[in-house]
Amino acid sequence: MGALRLVLADQLTHSVAALQGIDVATDVVLLAEVRSEASYVKHHKKKIIFLFSAMRHFAQELREKGYTVHYTEYTDTDNQGSLAAEVAQRKAQYQLDEVICTHPGEYRILTDMQTWSEALSCPVTIRDDDRFIAHIDEFAKWADGKKQLRMEFFYREMRKKLTCLMQDGQPEGGKWNYDAQNRKSLPKNVIVPEHTQFVPDAITQSVTTLVENEFSDHFGDSENFHYATTRADALQVLDIFIQERLELFGDYQDAMAEGQPWMFHSHIGLYLNSGLLTPLEVTQKVEQVYYAQGAPLNAVEGFIRQVIGWREYIRGLYWFKMPGYEKENFLDAQLALPEFFWTGKTKMNCLSQCITETKENAYAHHIQRLMVLGNFALIAGLTPEEVNEWYLIVYADAYEWVELPNVSGMVLFADGGVLASKPYAASGAYINKMSNYCKNCHYSVKEKTGETACPFNYMYWHFLHRNQDQLRSNHRMGMIYNTMGKMAPDKLGAMLDDGNTFLLKLANNEDV
C-alpha cells in the first residue's frame, strides 16, 4: 500500500509539493508523456523537445535518489493517452491506495483532477503549489473589491513580503520602480554576449528524433536544439546571465535588433515555468549580486519585478478570473489570424523578424511579444481566441496561466482594462525608436499613408477610430483622441481608407 505521486511537466522541482514527505519504500512517482497534453494544441517542436527531455532527466535524478518512478514515454504501447487514464492505470498496476498531486498550472487540468477521487474510489489530494511567492488565495484577498488590478501595487506587496530590495521599510534607492531608465535602444557599438547553449545529450537526441517522427506537422523548427534540460544546466544559464548580461539588462531590456533574438535577457522563463528554477532562488541570487557586487539598481529591480511582480501577478490574476477569462473580447475583435503568423512571410520586417525567430527558437523577448507581435494583433483586431492559441503554441515558456492574462489582458485589452490601464497600441514610430527593423523594411516608417507607408502608422489610427466608443472615456486615452479630433478630415480619411484596404488584404490572406 502506498501513494501515487503525480508530477506534471511544469513541476520538475525536487521539492515540489507532491513529493514532500514521500515514502520511498511504498510510494511511486508518475511522470507521463501523454498524448492529450502534447497535442491539445500543436505545441512548438522545441517546446516538446525541451519538456520531454527535461522530464526524462528529472525522472533519472529521482531514481538516483532511490525513488520508484514509473515513466510513461510517448510511444510506449501501454501509454493511456491522458493524465486521468495514466493515473488510474498506474494506481491499479502498483496497487496503491491514494493519489497525491500538486495544484496544476491550468484550469482545465484542475477541473479534471477534481473528478479523480470519485472515479478512482480513493483519496486524491491536490496540494498547494508552494513554489510561487504568493498563494492563490493571497492574490484573491488583495484583489477583492478592486475595480482595477494594477501589477505595480501587487509587486510592492511582494517586495515587502520578502523584504527584497528594501531598507528600513522603504524601497532601495527611494523608488519602487526604475522602468523609466530601462527604455534605451541598442547603440551600434554595444556587443551582445553569446547566448548560452548546450550540446544535446543522448536523452535529448532521442527525444528530438521522437518529435521529428511524431510531431512533424507541429509549428517550429526542431534542429539546433540547445536549451538546458536539467536543473544544473538551468542554474548555469542563470549564473552566466548574471555574469555577462545583467549589468546592461536594465538599459536594453526593451530594445530590439535585427538578427539579435537574445539581447541581454536572461532566457530563464522556460526553466522557471517548468520548475527547473524557482522564483525565490532566482530573486535572491540577483538581489545578492546588487548588494555584494554593486550591479546597477535599474537592472536588478527590473529583473526582480519581472519575477516576483509580473510573474506572480499574472498567475494570481489567472486563477482569480477563471473560468471565463478566456472568453473576454471587450473590443469585439473578429479577424482571423493571418497565415504569415505561421510562416513569417510578410513584407513588414519587424513581424518577419519576430515570427521567424519564434519559429526557430520557440522564444522571443517580452517587447517583441508585446509591442511588435501583440501590437499588430491589437490594432488589426485579431480574434483573442486565435491569438491566445498562437502564443500558447509557439513559446517554450507558455502555459495557459501565464499566456492567457498576458495576451487577453496586456496584449489585446480583451478584458476591458482589468489588467492594463490602456491598450498597448503604437504606430511604427515606437518600433523604429526601439529597434533597427525599419531600416530594412519594404515599407517606410516615415510615411503615414499610401502603398509604401508602414501599416502600423495608419492601422494605429484605424484602431483608435473604430474602437472610440469603447476607449474614448479611458482617462489615459483622452489626449490621443483629442489629437485625432483635430486632424484634417482628409488626412484621417486617407488613413482609414488605407486601413480598410489593409484589413481586407489580411482577411483574404493576401501578401502584405
Q: Is residue 226 part of a domain?
A: no
Q: Are residues 358 and 452 in the same domain?
A: yes
Q: Please count the residues of the chain.
A: 512
Q: Is residue 353 part of a domain?
A: yes
Q: Give the type of residue at 494.
A: A
Q: Is 5 helix (H, G, I), strand (E, B) or coil?
A: strand
Q: Tell me the three cell numbers of residue 348.
A: 513588414
pLDDT, position 180:
87
Q: Is 453 helix (H, G, I), strand (E, B) or coil?
A: strand
Q: Give the type of residue at 379.
A: I
**Would you give the end-to-end CA distance of the chain in angstroms?**
63
CATH number at residue 436: 1.10.579.10
Q: Are residues 255 and 298 in the same domain?
A: yes
Q: Are 166 and 313 in contact (CB under 8 A)?
A: no
Task: Output the furthest CA–CA distance in the chain (Å, rounded).
Answer: 79
Range of the structural domain that residue 105 is part of: 3-127
Rounded Cα–Cα distance for residues 165 and 288 (Å): 10
Q: Tell me the three cell numbers of residue 92.
A: 491499479
Which residues make beta-bridge pairs with 29?
5, 69
Reading the chain (512 residues) residue by residue, the pLDDT tens digits are 899 999 999 999 999 999 999 999 999 999 999 999 998 999 999 999 999 999 999 999 999 999 999 999 999 999 999 999 999 999 999 999 999 999 999 999 999 999 999 999 999 999 999 999 999 999 999 999 888 899 999 999 999 999 999 999 999 999 999 988 888 999 989 999 999 999 999 999 999 999 999 999 999 999 999 999 999 999 999 999 999 999 999 999 999 999 999 999 999 999 999 999 999 999 999 999 999 999 999 999 999 999 999 999 999 999 999 999 999 999 999 999 999 999 999 999 999 999 999 999 999 999 999 999 999 999 999 999 999 999 999 999 999 999 999 999 999 999 999 999 999 999 999 999 999 999 999 999 999 999 999 999 999 999 999 999 999 999 999 999 999 999 999 999 999 999 999 999 999 999 99
Q: Is residue 223 part of a domain?
A: no
* Ranges of H-type helices in 175-278: 202-214, 231-244, 246-252, 269-274
CATH number at residue 169: 1.25.40.80
Q: Is residue 88 part of a domain?
A: yes
Planar angle of CA 412, 413, 414, nearest 5 degrees: 85
Q: Are residues 101 and 76 in the same domain?
A: yes
Which residue in the block uniquely carries the three cell numbers 492529450?
36
Q: Are residues 149 and 120 in the same domain?
A: no
In this prediction the pTM is: 0.96
Calculated CA dihedral for residues 181, 183, 188, 191, nearest 10 degrees? 70
**Packing angle, helices 45-64 and 202-214, rounded to 10:** 140
Q: Is residue 233 part of a domain?
A: no
77, 108, 127 — which closes off a domain? 127
Q: Are residues 116 and 171 in the same domain?
A: no
Q: Are residues 301 and 155 in the same domain?
A: yes
Q: Are residues 154 and 11 in the same domain?
A: no
Q: Are residues 159 and 121 in the same domain?
A: no
Element (H, E) at 55: helix 45-64
83, 106, 127 — which closes off a domain? 127
Q: Is residue 365 part of a domain?
A: yes
Which residue pairs, CB below 8 angstroms and at least 24 apart, start in 183-190?
Answer: 183/254, 183/434, 184/251, 184/252, 184/254, 184/255, 185/252, 185/255, 185/433, 185/434, 185/435, 186/252, 186/255, 186/256, 186/257, 186/260, 186/263, 186/436, 190/248, 190/252
Q: Is residue 283 part of a domain?
A: yes
Number of domains in the chain: 3
Q: Are residues 83 and 43 in the same domain?
A: yes
Q: Are residues 154 and 287 in the same domain?
A: yes
Q: Are residues 301 and 348 in the same domain?
A: no
CA distances from 56 to 20, 28, 250, 363 (A): 20, 16, 35, 22
CATH number at residue 73: 3.40.50.620
| Distance from the Cα of residue 487 to its chain's centroid | 38
Q: Are 69 and 63 in contact (CB under 8 A)?
A: yes
Q: Are residues 113 and 142 in the same domain?
A: no
Q: Is residue 211 part of a domain?
A: no
At residue 69, what are phi and psi to the nearest 5 degrees? -120, 130
pLDDT, position 146:
86
Q: Give the type of residue at 356.
A: T
105, 127, 149 — which closes off a domain? 127
